[in-house]
Amino acid sequence: MAKQETPLIRPGRIVRELSEAQAAAFATAWLEVFARGVHGMKLKAYMWHVFSGGAYENLSGKEALAAYATREAPEYIVLSNDRNAAYVTDRRPEWTFMGDYYVFPPNLAWTMAFTHEDGWLGPYFATHPDVERLEAESLAQIRKQREIEAARAKGWA
């Protein structure tokens, strides 16, 4: 398989590109959370069909974008719908060249699914069943990162 070009992701920067195996592992983990036990929805074509088909509770359209805008994570995974490309970014992405893609923190506390049908079907935002605990973990990691950055700025680390 030919290597894909690294997509432009705004804002922020790509911290690292994940291997195809890592991308596939994140896709499997995503499906375990957001599509567990779901069959017959053509998820192989588009994982977001779990949302458009009503199999997992979600927000869509402007409500989804508003919920997404409030989320913070230590880092963000951007996964292509074909499941063979994934990137780690340092800021919550608002746009990329990928047609269909998913953004989520590594612990899958929530997900944002951007679709090629934007405005008609999607985008979609959904949370993990254990979102409160997972987001508390993420916020603790963010606080720790900020403390380390502050210590470095003062020359302590």
Q: Is the pLDDT of residue 11 over 80?
A: no
Residues 71 and 94: beta-carbon distance below 8 Å: no
Average pLDDT value for the chain? 88
80-119 confidence digits (pLDDT tens): 999 999 999 988 987 766 779 999 999 999 999 999 887 7
- Enter the pTM of the model: 0.85
Residues 86 and 33: beta-carbon distance below 8 Å: no
Residues 98 and 25: beta-carbon distance below 8 Å: no
Can you give the pLDDT at residue 40?
80
Q: What are phi and psi of 121, to 5 degrees?
A: -125, 105
Task: Grade residue 63 by pLDDT with cuts at 50, 70 and 90.
Answer: very high
Start-to-end Cα distance in the chain: 43
Q: How confident is the model over 126-137, as a mean pLDDT?
A: 94
Residue type for 12, please?
G
Q: How confident is the model over 59-65, as a mean pLDDT?
A: 95
Task: Grade residue 1 by pLDDT with cuts at 50, 70 and 90.
Answer: very low
Residues 113 and 77: beta-carbon distance below 8 Å: no
Kind plus residue range of the DSSP H or E element containing 15: strand 14-18
